[in-house]
Amino acid sequence: MSMKKLRLGILSLTGCEGCVNELLDVLLTTPGLLNYLELEYCRLIMDAEPSKVDVLIVEGAVASERDYELLKSASEKAQYVVALGSCAVLGGVSQSCLTFENLQQITREVYQGTLPKLRRLPPPEAKPITELVKVSYVVPGCPPPKSELQKLLTSLILGKEFKLCEHTVCFECKARGMVCLLEKGVLCLGPLTRGGCEARCPRVGAPCLGCRGPAPELRIREYINILKEKNLLDSVTIKKLMSIFQTFSSLRAKVTEVLDSG
């Protein structure tokens, strides 16, 4: 008895489409997946308009009226909507840099010399899709790990609930016997960030920047105390670090409160 294929749509909004590339790689390299999935549209590989699907996977933040119209129209034609990646789930880099002032600063850093003329437009606003439409599942990360994408697709095919891991990036570092970056004097958000990425960044010596969002259980006071012990308590740097992915919009306020209270 053959199983009916799940109709899948992939919608890209404002983002780099790195998450979609990762998803397509999983689809093409995981044996058997395409036996149960029918890809209806994805602008990276086909010229097709959003149509009625079982599952809509959305990458990118909503940074324009056109983004919103595309999202609204496509989500109304889908049974399930999945937010894919930091931009769709949390706002991502787009939300942290899309103001006119930041645009000027970014342009200066990129061109490092003569600046192109910037039109003085009203500051654009970028939002995660989770604030604008009903979302069935979220898969954070920049991009999400392939193992998690495989789990997502398998869960959808089998009709099972998809769940994110509950531990932190810090836990994953310890599980691998890695020396903590905080011990090396490197400011890292691993203790506050949801795991599931297999400590991808710390594993190669780079600090966690929080692209997977806040961990379910936050121990902010303990984290601040560790920073004090390691002489890493630079509140300006910490707040700036926590704004890169806009991952910690609500958490940042809590950390600021702890920092200000001493």
pLDDT tens per residue, range 175-213:
999 999 999 999 899 998 999 999 999 999 999 988 898
Residue 45 domain-assigned? yes
Cα torsion 239, 241, 245, 249 to 10°: value is -20
**Statement to judge: residues 150 and 174 lie in one domain:** no
In this structure, are 134 and 176 located in the same domain? Answer: no
Instruction: State whether 140 and 15 are in the same domain.
Output: yes
What pLDDT does residue 169 have? 96
Is residue 175, in this structure, part of any structural domain at all?
yes
CA distance 216 to 192: 9
Q: Is residue 75, in this structure, part of any structural domain at all?
A: yes
Residue 5 predicted with pLDDT over 60: yes
Residue 116 domain flag: no
Q: Please tell me whether residues 40 and 153 are part of one structural domain.
A: yes
Task: Decide if 51 is inside a domain.
Answer: yes
Edge-to-edge order in the sheet of strand 37-42: 37-42, 6-12, 53-59, 78-84, 137-139
Residues 57, 136: one domain? yes
Same domain, 195 and 251: yes
If asked whether residues 58 and 21 sit together in one domain, one would say yes
The backbone torsions φ and ψ at residue 24, rounded to the nearest 5 degrees and listed phi first, read -65, -35
- What is the number of domains present in the chain? 2
Alpha-carbon span 55 to 60, nearest angstrom: 16
Give the model confidence (pLDDT) of 136-185 as tens digits: 999 999 999 999 999 999 999 999 999 999 999 999 999 999 999 999 99
Same domain, 231 and 133: no
* pTM of structure: 0.84
Judge whether 177 lies within some domain: yes
Closest CA to 235 of 219, 220, 214, 217: 220
Show the domain range for 16: 6-95+123-158
**pLDDT range class, residue 122, cuts 50, 70, 90:** very low
Query: At 98, is the pLDDT very low, low, confident or very high (cuts 50, 70, 90)?
Result: low
Residue 100 in any domain: the answer is no
Note the pLDDT tens digit of each residue in 34-51. Answer: 999 999 999 999 989 999
The answer to whether residue 103 sits within a structural domain is no
Please say whether the beta carbons of 98 and 72 come within 8 A.
Answer: no
